[in-house]
């Protein structure tokens, strides 16, 4: 999603960025987010960089929603506000009913140590990977479900 303030983009293009604000970041430090943002305080605002900003932040893999808004501070200054919603953070991963492949082996094969956040789509992908591991051991009717708590 891309949001802009209440004035037209040609007026925005003539404005200097006075302030960049990050909202909603709890796990990812604001400096890590700002490192991926092509805007800098003191630069002229360029609306074309908004899409680049959202794509760059999405590639970090920590956010399920990213919005960018601009707010006019004065006739020639604006604030760029980046609002993120973080994916749920992983505290523990628990396997139940895995008698053929140990939890340690699943962790190793799935690269669990590298997973910091998870959403429903990623959870489904992990479940599919587990099914594949069981099929490789000739357990073709294995049912794998996942839940986020």
* Mean pLDDT value of segment 101-128: 82
Is 123 in contact with 148 (CB distance < 8 Å)?
yes
β-pairing, 16-23 with 63-74?
A: unpaired
What confidence score (pLDDT) does residue 6 get? 42
- Of 2-16, 48-62, 81-95, the poorest mean pLDDT is in 2-16
For the chain, the C-alpha Rg in angstroms (whole number) is 21
Other CB atoms closer than 10 Å to residue 82's CB: what's the count? 25
Select from 42, 48, 55 the least CA-distant residue to 1: 55
Give the whole-angstrom CA distance, residue 133 versus residue 140. Answer: 10
């Amino acid at each position: 999603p891309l949001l802009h303030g209440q004035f037209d983009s040609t007026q925005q293009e003539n404005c200097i960025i006075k302030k960049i604000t990050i909202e909603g970041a709890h796990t990812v430090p604001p400096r890590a987010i700002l490192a991926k943002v092509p805007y800098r305080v003191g630069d002229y605002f360029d609306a074309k960089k908004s899409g680049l900003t959202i794509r760059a932040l999405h590639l970090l893999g920590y956010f399920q929603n990213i919005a960018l808004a601009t707010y006019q501070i004065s006739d020639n200054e604006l604030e760029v506000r980046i609002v993120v919603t973080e994916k749920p953070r992983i505290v523990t991963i628990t396997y139940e009913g895995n008698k053929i492949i140990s939890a340690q082996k699943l962790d190793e094969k799935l690269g669990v140590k590298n997973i910091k956040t998870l959403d429903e789509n990623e959870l489904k992908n992990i479940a599919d990977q587990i099914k594949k591991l069981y099929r490789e051991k000739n357990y073709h009717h294995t049912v794998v479900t996942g839940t986020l708590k």
